[in-house]
Structures are given as structure tokens and as C-alpha cells.
A and B are shown apart, each in its own frame.
Chain A
């Protein structure tokens, strides 16, 4: 589906604002997991790489396949590693136990 350029720019700008408002509210406590999570989400770029590798091309297809394959490897490692470590970190954050007896 060919996107309209202007619409895409609107999407970009609005997404930036949403990002700003949402991320401003993230507690500084969780800034490290925030970075690893956004990093994993960013690896959605894998979708673009999959299309390049899997599609039929008329020209330059060998180069595109090789580069695209490496791109999928790089992005997938971010997806898997990013979600894994974010969840590992978040599991560590525990609140105080309610008034423990001495």
C-alpha cells in the first residue's frame, strides 16, 4: 500500500507528540528498562527487512537479499534480547513488604 507523503508526515509528528506525553510520565526509576523496551519496539524495522528479503525483485536482488538477511538477524536479536532483558529487569522491581515483624 503506497502511503501518502503528507499523511505520513502527520503520522510522524503526532506520534512524536504522543511519545513525548507518554514517556514524560515514565518514572525515572524505570529509565533503563524504558530504553531497552523502546529499543526492542524499534526493531519492528525487521518488518521492512523481511519484505526486502522475501519479495521478488527484478534488479539488484542478490545484494538486497544478503543485506536484508543481515538486517533481519540484527533486528531479531534486538527484539529477543530487548524484551528478555526488559522483563528480567522489571521482575526485580519490588515494593517494600507491608510492615514486617522483627
Chain B
């Protein structure tokens, strides 16, 4: 039976659906992207307002309190510093998953013992994916915020333990599908995935975060879509499917950019494989280092400079100094572009956001393939806080743990300059032959300090 008001609500949801799809479509280019956000907001407003006005809703007290409280928490989360966006994103995946898990749990206790098998199956999927995404995302956020140790923690039989946990949860879910009246089993499909979420992230290191965040994004979307089946909402099924697809595409992109498979990211803690590679590379080779003054002289004489930023730039908060360097070189007629590796930083697109924040025009931020075709005609490639993504061993050393990973070919520029704290091994602990070739100049020091010194030597800057 559908009353006119039901039909009106369904039409509202349909309009919201169209707005959501348009919202993502407009995100395809920076020129229309803000319109996309507006479409999304409008769709959300319509859907929420329509739901609130529905005749089934009789009790507004708690809804109002919760909406206000959510907004109070949301505003500061929308205003975090750009360098903290990866952990904010992880935290918001956790919140999304929490919402889905709690709704699934409520639905179970409202409907038991009469839960139809299909509903119970998607409800289990919803709750399992939701709770593992919840703790997994909290762990990821903790690692990114450096509350938790960033080094991967591994132990023998880790994968067996993890897969075993998941298998038990699925088995319990199967029993519940057959016997939805066995209420006492339900807490298990909450608790086991909650533990699994923690165990899943423990072995994952910082360099793998872009893939992991994308994967958690995908899980959050899929769990929301499952919830759509449980609460009979096509709008939610569609929003969840869009989010799931987005997370999936990003995970595939990230895995490709590291030349690794999904399973390898999830089950093959990167830290372990590298121990061997790092140990082999302890022979004494010479590096050429330069002072900022010498480096500035070379930059000044260049006509084309490519800057390759990495996570180190974010850590040192050097993006604004980089902007001063960009200004001061551009003023001298030097053509300056940026080469952005897909996995540079801690989440997809991380470097672009930081550089955009520093007011660098987005048409100067080039993707890996585009910048690689320009590097052979480049005078200076300046690497700031990036390491593995510039490692030529990925191209020519089949024994290297990152062999096959696509890199930015800074070694093809006439001169390569690398700003680095010291010669100590980087996060992944892989030796980088780039540092030992003749055309490479090492500029030792903190990224922000060194870029600042370069700007001063060029006689520019805003000070």
C-alpha cells in the first residue's frame, strides 16, 4: 500500500539519487567540482528533510539531539589542517561504518526471531563489513596520527589467524541465516570482525596507507549498500554502490602504482620483504652533497625544473616554502612543474591537496606518465621528501623488492637534487641507487629548512 506521502518521499529519494550521481560526475574536473559538492548537499538535504517529514516518524526528541550533536562534531572535522586529511578521512570511514553497524544491530534485535534468510544474510554482511571497517579505520587513523606505532607489526602465522577469524565470523553468520532466533550468536558477528579489523591493520606500514584507506573506503560503501537492502532503501543501495565503486577504483589504482596485488597489500606486510634488500646494500658508495647556495645557482641557471614531492614534504609542512621557491623560480622565467606519483603521501591525491593549499595552480601538477615524458628535457628534478617513488631500482634491478613499480624518472633529468634528512634508510628501508649516481646532488636537512635556504639564496621569498 502506498499513500501519496510515501510516493512523494520516494520521488524525493529519486531526485536525491540523481543529484548524487551528478555530484560525482561534476567532480571530474576542478572547474565544475564545487558545483558537484553543492549537488551532493542539496540531495542530502532533500533526502533527510523528506525522511523527517514522513508520517512514520513520531518521536523527534532524540533525532534532534543527535543531529545537533553530529553537526557539532562534524564542523571541527571539516576544518582540520590539510596535512591531517588522511587521518580525518580514516576517521570518517570509521564513523560511517559505525553508523551502519549500529543500524544493522538495531534492525536485528527489532526483527528477531522473524528475520527472512535473505535479510539475515545481507544484515550479516552489513554488520561484519561495518565492524571490521570501524576498528580497521580507527587503527589506520591512529597510525596516521602517530598515536600508534607506524611500523608494521608481524608475527608468524598472522595470515592464518586473520583468515581464521574471518572464517569463524562467516560461519556464525551462516548459522544465523538458518536460525535467526539464536540471538545469543549475534554478538559474535560483531565482536569477531571488530578484532579482525585491528589485526588486519597491525601489519600494514605507512607507505601502504593509500591502498588501505581506499580499501576501507570501499568496505564502508559496500556495508552501506548492504544496509540499503536491510532497510529497503534504493537510495542507500545506490549511494553505497557509488562509494564502494569509488573505493575499489582507488584501491586498484594504488595497487597498480605500487605494482602489488590487493592480497599482497593485505597479507604481505611490506616491512618483511625488505629486510633482505636493505641488508645487501651496505657497501660504501659515495654521494655528492651540495649546499643550498650551490643548488640555488644550478636552479637559477635552469630553464625547466620539475619538483617531485613526497610524504616528507607533508611531514615537514614544507608546502608553503615550496610555493615560495616556485614563485621565485617562475619570476626568473624558469618553467616549474610538479610530478605527482599516485602513491606519494598517505592517501590518494594527498600531494595535490597540499600543493593546492599552498596556492600552486593545479595545471602545474602533472600525473606520473605526463611528467615522465618531460623529464628527459628537464634541467633539474628536485625531489622533496619522496624516496621509493623515484627509485630507479624499480626499473632495472629485478632483485629489488619494488621491482616493476612505476616510478617518476628523476634520474633522466640532467641534474637530480634530493632533499633528505640523512642517508639513513627511509620508511620502507629500501636502498635508493638514485643517491649514488653522478648527476645527483644531495641536499641534507629538513625539507622546510632546505627549501627556505634555497629561496633565500635565490634572493626571493616573502619575508
Mark A residues whose CB is within 8 Å of B.
Answer: 1-3, 5, 8, 11-12, 15-16, 18-20, 22-57, 59-61, 63-65, 67-97, 102
Contact = CB atoms under 8 A, between A and B. Distances in A.
Contacts of A11: 234, 237-238
A1 B96 CA distance: 25
Contacts of A73: 66, 69-70, 73
A89 B349 CA distance: 11
Nearest to B235: A44
Instruction: Tell me if B's interface is mostly helix, strand, loop or mixed.
Output: helix
B250 to A, nearest CB: 6
Interface stretch (B37-45, B140-148, B379-387, B425-433): B37-45
Interface size, B (range): 35 or more
A52 B48 CA distance: 14
B49 to A, nearest CB: 10
Given A39-B89, A39-B96, A52-B103, A93 B30 contact: yes
B230 to A, nearest CB: 8
Given A3-B232, A32-B350, A45 B103 contact: yes
A42 B353 contact: no
A27 B70 contact: no
B70 A31 contact: no
A31 B95 contact: no
B37 A32 contact: no
B78 A83 contact: yes
Contacts of B54: 51
Nearest to A97: B361
A93 B79 CA distance: 17
B36 interface: yes
Interface in B9-62: 10, 16, 20-21, 23-25, 27-31, 33-34, 36-37, 40-41, 43-44, 47-48, 51-52, 54, 56-60, 62
Given A29-B365, A42-B239, A77-B92, 4 more contacts: A15-B241, A24-B249, A45-B103, A95-B30
Nearest to A102: B331
Instruction: Tell me if A's interface is mostly helix, strand, loop or mixed.
Output: helix
Contacts of A43: 44, 95-96, 99
B221 A30 contact: no
A70 B92 CA distance: 14
Nearest to A5: B118
B96 A74 contact: yes
Contacts of B280: none
Contacts of A97: 361
Given A29-B352, A32-B348, A71-B102, A41 B78 contact: no
12 contacts: A19-B246, A31-B347, A35-B349, A51-B231, A54-B56, A57-B110, A71-B102, A73-B66, A84-B75, A90-B34, A94-B361, A96-B364
